[in-house]
Homo-oligomer: A and B are copies of this chain.
Amino acid sequence: MSLRHALLGLLVDKPASGYDLLKDFAGSLANVWPATQSQIYTELTKMAAAELITVTDAGPRGRKEYALTDAGLAELRHWLTEIPPNRPQRSDVLLRVFFLGVVDREQAREYLRGLAEKARQEHEELVGILERTDWEGGDLATYGRLALEYGLRFTDTRREWAEWAVDRIRT
């Protein structure tokens, strides 16, 4: 149900069409809450019906620009402060770790080395974003920076853990 709130959050900044929002989801937000085109358009329609957003402008090619209503902003604030952030985290990576005993040790180490390498790569990508972005702007920059820092620390921890795990599997 959080796709709705992600869309509301993006519309705080400025009005946008489904197509605009789709691009936001392909960009920075993809790391936090991926969503597909069909999902976004469907959800926008439902949100308009619920009067959390309204169509404020129509452009060429049937473009509809949506803007937040007061009710939408209220809903976003409510979600931010009142709803417990509680969805249990699934991790197919960790699930595999649990069952690494069914392959031989060398394959297990290989898998963990792959995880370390992948974490390293992701970390570098985030460093790239850190360097390329201007963090002076408004709220989205401020809080986006916090989210990025989370990613930086998390990928680093993940790499260290995987390297530790490789070492721990001794013959």
Contacts and interface: CB of A to CB of B under 8 A. Distances in A.
Interface stretch (A41-49, A59-67, A139-147): A139-147
Interface string A82-94: 0001111111111
Contacts of A143: 97-101, 108
B165 A160 contact: no
Interface string A23-45: 00000011111100000000000
A19 interface: no
Nearest to A157: B157
Contact of A80 (B12, B76, B100): B100
Interface in A130-166: 138-140, 142-144, 146-147, 149-150, 153-154, 157-158, 160-161, 164-165
B140 A98 contact: yes
Given A9-B95, A146-B165, A90 B33 contact: yes
Contacts of A103: 77, 80-81
Oligomer copy total: 2
Contact of A76 (B92, B99, B115): B99
Nearest 3 CB-CB pairings of A with B: A101-B139, A9-B99, A157-B157
Given A33-B92, A81-B103, A87-B92, 20 more contacts: A2-B92, A2-B95, A9-B98, A12-B99, A29-B95, A31-B89, A32-B94, A32-B95, A32-B98, A33-B91, A33-B95, A80-B96, A80-B99, A87-B90, A97-B146, A97-B150, A98-B140, A108-B143, A142-B169, A150-B161
Interface of A: 2, 5-6, 9, 12, 29-34, 73, 76-77, 79-81, 85-103, 107-108, 111, 115, 138-140, 142-144, 146-147, 149-150, 153-154, 157-158, 160-161, 164-165, 168-169
